[in-house]
A = this chain, B = another copy of it.
Amino acid sequence: MPEEPRWLDECEREAWLALASLMFKLPGALDAQLLRDNDLTLFDYFVLSGLSMAPGRTLRLSALASQVSSSLSRLSNVLKRLEQRGLLRREPDPDNPRYNRAVLTEAGWDLVVAAAPGHVAAVRRFVIDGLTPEQITALREVACRVTQQVNEAAEDSRRGC
């Protein structure tokens, strides 16, 4: 249906290629640090850290999934592994027993506390410390905007079923 598509101009192309390069490399770099030092992937860390900041160190699974931008399927698999390592438990939500929640254990909390400094240092090294304050603000705005566009598209295509 696109008769003559609108190609990217030079500036847009460079921005997109740079972003693509970032997307391909940054996750690997952060994964590598966490795996080496704490035997966690970046995704594992986000899950545990998300729980650690929630009231009662607890979240409903679907809330957790949306917080870490993942499918329920992926989250379920990861939770199984983390539960086997004793870092969290799954249990029915006492308020509404048809929901499940994930609860961070003491061991899970300790691991987040132990992993956080190294992880934050890596985020600084790779991302934050190379940028000016204006660039950090711009990054936040751009990334929020893009995330929002992606979410809207996802909702649209759900509606379009």
Contacts and interface: CB of A to CB of B under 8 A. Distances in A.
Contact of A15 (B20, B139, B153): B139
Interface stretch (A83-91, A94-102, A140-148): A140-148
A8 B128 contact: yes
A22 interface: yes
A107 interface: no
Interface in A49-85: 68-70
A120 to B, nearest CB: 6
A99 to B, nearest CB: 23
A143 B23 CA distance: 9
Interface string A2-21: 10011110011011101111
Please give the count of copies of this chain that the complex contains.
Answer: 2
Contact of A20 (B46, B141, B149): B46
Sorted from nearest, which 4 A-B pairs have the closest CB atoms? A18-B143, A138-B138, A15-B140, A24-B69
Interface string A112-151: 0000111011011111101101011111111111111111
B131 A145 contact: yes
21 contacts: A2-B118, A6-B124, A7-B120, A12-B128, A14-B140, A16-B123, A18-B139, A18-B143, A18-B144, A18-B147, A19-B127, A20-B46, A21-B69, A23-B27, A24-B69, A26-B147, A130-B148, A130-B149, A138-B139, A139-B139, A142-B142
Contacts of A140: 11, 14-15, 18
A154 interface: yes
